[in-house]
Amino acid sequence: MILLNENHQIAKGSERLCYLHPQDSSKIIKTIYHKLGTVDQNIIEYNYYKELNRQNIAYTHIPKCYGFVTTNKGTGLIFDNITNYDGTPAITIRNAIANQEITYEEIRASDLLNDLKSYLEKNKILFRDATTVNVLYVQIAPNTHRLIIIDGLGPRRENFKIILYKYCPFYLLYKIKKQWKVFLYNLHRLKVQTLQ
């Protein structure tokens, strides 16, 4: 059993807590603290990642998933800990704009968005919870950045839509494009907020 405490906690979502792995700083552990109904987001996400693994995708814009582990906070799901190339913590795109590390206009003018959009469409990855806190602005080399999605992938719940995503590529692509518009809208809202 892996023992987790508040000192290991690095993020909190509406359903899950995210901890730095106490024995391996290159990994994080997501545990459930508030299950919405009967949905276990870790199980849904793990099953989605199994499908991505089966397709042998490149993990350039999302972290790898390593399966389940037992912790004192319940069953946890292990992922890569995404950091900058020098090992420092990467920040969300929301914080990068708020801290003026990059502006909305610079993001729109760069290849960052097109690169991420192409990756999602090419690998048929659904970015369901398309918020700016789920995307990191990662420095992968000096003066070189990449947007990496760390949460909100795959279906929200296990229902008939999973079958549609799997066997109806046109519907899946429609959803990917629709959620991308949501992400762009959320990104634009950051610009509005910084001007207020």
Q: Is 42 exposed, middle or buried (0-12, 13-18, 19+ CB in 10 A)?
A: buried
Name which residue leads in pLDDT, 63 or 34.
63
Flag the least confident range among 30-44, 57-71, 139-153, 167-181: 30-44
Local confidence band at 193 (pLDDT 50, 70, 90 cut-offs): confident
Local confidence band at 2 (pLDDT 50, 70, 90 cut-offs): very high
Helix crossing, 112-123 with 169-195: angle to 10°?
Answer: 160
Helices (H), the chain: 41-54, 93-98, 104-109, 112-123, 160-167, 169-195
In words, the CATH class of domain 1-81 is alpha beta
Domain with CATH 3.30.200.20 in the chain: 1-81
Q: What is the pLDDT of residue 191?
A: 78
Could you count the other beta carbons within 10 Å of the beta carbon of residue 82? 17
Rounded distance between C-alpha atoms, residue 105 and residue 108, angstroms: 5
The CATH architecture assigned to 83-196 reads Orthogonal Bundle (1.10)
Q: What is the pLDDT of residue 13?
A: 87
- Positive or negative, the Cα torsion across 79, 127, 134, 42? negative
Q: Reply yes or no on whether the pLDDT at 194 is more than 70.
A: no
Q: Where do we find the tokens 């089966």? A: 54
Q: What is the pLDDT of residue 36?
A: 72
Q: Residues 161-173: what's their mean pLDDT?
A: 81
Q: Reply yes or no on whether the pLDDT at 178 is more than 70.
A: yes
